[in-house]
Amino acid sequence: MTRNLHILSRRRLLASLAGAGAASLLAPALAPPALAGELFNRVDLRGGHDADLSGLLPDAADDQSRLFQRAIDEAAAAGRILRLPPGSFVISNIDLPDGARIIGVPGATRLIYGGRGHFMLAEGARRIELSGMVLDGANQRLGGHVSGLLHLRGVNEAIVEDMAVAGADGHGITLEACGGRIHHTDISGARLAGIYAIESRSLAITRNMVRDCANGGILVHRWSIGEDATLIDGNRVMRIAARAGGTGQNGNGINIFRAGNVMVTNNHVSDCAFSAIRANSASNIQIISNQAIRSGETAIYAEFSFEGAVIASNLIDGGTVGISVANFNEGGRLASVTGNIIRNLTTKGPYPAEYAGFGIGMAIEADAAVSGNVIEGAPKWGVLMGWGPFLRAVNFSGNTIRDCGAGIAVSVVEGAGAALISGNMFDATPGGAVLGCRWNEVVTKDLAKVGAGRFKHLTLERNVVA
C-alpha cells in the first residue's frame, strides 16, 4: 500500500465535509489521517459552535429553552458564533450574554416563542449579533418587563441583520439605549410597532421591510428632547394601522419623537392610517427623497417644538395634507421645503376635520424658505400660510400650484408676520390664487389680482395666474 493511500486529498476532504453538513470549510490539500479525523469532529475552523453539540435538536416538539441558553452561554464565553441549522426551536426566556452571536440559515432557522415571560432579552452588553433567523412570536403574551419580542437594553453595538420577526405581542424589535444597526430585516404582524428605538446612540435602521403592524412602523423616540442621530434609510414600510386610536399618536409609518439630528432618507412608505413620516419635537430633522403613498392623514409632518427641518425631494401621492410644518405657537420654526411633489389629496380624514380641515397641499408657518415644489390636486387650498397670528418670515417662491380649489390661503390676522409670495405659477385654481384668511375664513378677494393693499406684512410680486 502506497503512502498516497494514507493521504486524504483536498477533493475527497471537501466532498466528505459537504456530505457531513460542514459546508465552506477549507482544509489543507494534504493532511495525515489523524488531522483528517480531527477535522471531522471539529465544529468550525472559523470559530463556530454547532447547536447539536449542546443537545439542541431542530423540529423537536419539546421546549428547548434550557439547552438553547446553555448553548449560547458556552459559545459567548468561548468567543464563538452559535451556528443554528435549519429547523424550528421552541424557546422562552432567553437572556443574551455579552458577546452573543447567533447565526442561522435565512428563512429556514425558526425560533418560536413558547410564552411565559420574554422571548430574547439582552441588558448592558457591549455587543450582540443576530443574523439569518426567523423570530416567531406566535402572538404569545409578553411579560410586563419587556415591550418587544426581541428586546435589547443598553447594548453598545446591537447588530440585527437578515432576520424575519413576526407575530409579536408588543413591538417586533425594541432597542432601548442602544447603538448598532437593524439591517435587511423583515418585520410583520406586531401588535404595537415593528421597530421601537428609544434613547438611541447613533443607530442605523436600513433596508428593512416593516409591514402589517397594528399601531406603528418605525418609531425613534426619546424620553426627553435631545440628540439622537439615528439614520433611517432605504426602508419599505407598508400597511400600518392605528388600532389603538387617537389623532396621530398611532398609525404612522416612520415616527420621530423628541429625537434630534435624525435623517429619514430614501424610504418608501405606503398605506399608513396617519402619516407616512411624522416628526414631533424633533430638531434638525432631515426628510429627504422619500415616497409617501396613500397616507390616511398628513403625509409628512414636522410639528410642535422643533427648530430646523429640511424636507426635500419627496414624492407624496395621497393624504389629507401633503406637508405640514406647523405649531409656531409651540416653538416650531425654521424650515427649508424644496423640490417636493404633492398630489391627489382628499378632504376625507380618519377623524372629523378640525382647524383648517383637510384637502390642503402644504401648511407652513414660521421662518421658512419654500421653493421649487409642485402641488396638484388639493381640493381645498394648495397652501395654508400661517394660522391666525402665527406667521413669520415665510419666503414662498418659484412654486407651481395647479388644479387646486384655491392657491394660497395666507393669514391676514393682526399680529401676523412677514410673508413673501414671489414668482409662483398658479393654474386652474378656481377659488383664487392668493386669498387673505382669518384663521379658516376667507376675508379678501384674490390678492393676486387686487394686490396686497392694506396688508403691509405681505409682499406679492411676479406671480403668474394662468
pLDDT digit string (tens) for 387-440?
Answer: 999 999 999 999 999 999 999 999 999 999 999 999 999 999 999 999 999 999
Give the residue with greater pLDDT, 117 vs 5.
117
Evaluate whether 295 touches 274 at the Cβ level (below 8 Å): yes
Does residue 37 sit within a domain?
Answer: yes
Whole-angstrom CA distances from 286 to 199, 261, 337, 339 are: 18, 8, 10, 14
Does residue 219 sit within a domain?
Answer: no
The whole model's pTM is what? Answer: 0.89
What is d(CA 259, CA 31) in angstroms, rounded to the nearest whole number?
A: 58
What 3-state DSSP class applies to 66? helix
Does residue 362 sit within a domain?
Answer: no
CA neighbor of 140 nearest in space, from 116, 156, 158: 116
Evaluate whether 405 touches 380 at the Cβ level (below 8 Å): yes
Give the H/E segment covering residue 13. Answer: helix 10-19
Tell me the pairing of strands 441-446 and 434-438.
Answer: antiparallel
Does residue 13 sit within a domain?
Answer: yes
Q: Which residues span the domain enclosing 15?
A: 3-41
What is d(CA 381, CA 169) in angstroms, rounded to the nearest whole number?
A: 42
- Average pLDDT in the 243-252 region? 96
Q: What average pLDDT does the chain have?
A: 91
Does residue 384 sit within a domain?
Answer: no
Does residue 180 sit within a domain?
Answer: no
Q: How many CB atoms lie within 10 A of CB 375?
A: 27
Evaluate whether 390 touches 412 at the Cβ level (below 8 Å): no
Q: How many CB atoms lie within 10 A of CB 330?
A: 13
Does residue 315 sit within a domain?
Answer: no
Evaluate whether 263 touches 231 at the Cβ level (below 8 Å): yes
pLDDT in tens, 323-363: 999 999 999 999 999 999 999 999 999 999 999 999 999 99
Whole-angstrom CA distances from 280 to 132, 185, 464 are: 34, 26, 35
What is d(CA 175, CA 412) in angstroms, rounded to the nearest whole number?
A: 47
Q: Does position 247 have pLDDT exceeding 80, yes or no?
A: yes
- Average pLDDT in the 219-246 region? 98
What 3-state DSSP class applies to 11? helix
What 3-state DSSP class applies to 52? helix
Alpha-carbon dihedral angle through residues 176, 180, 184, 185, given to the nearest 10 degrees: -20
Q: Provide the domain count of the chain.
A: 1
Q: 167 is written with which cell numbers?
A: 407575530
Give the H/E segment covering residue 65. Answer: helix 65-77
Evaluate whether 182 touches 152 at the Cβ level (below 8 Å): no
Residue 205's pLDDT band, with cuts at 50, 70 and 90, is: very high
Residue 225's pLDDT band, with cuts at 50, 70 and 90, is: very high
Does residue 177 sit within a domain?
Answer: no
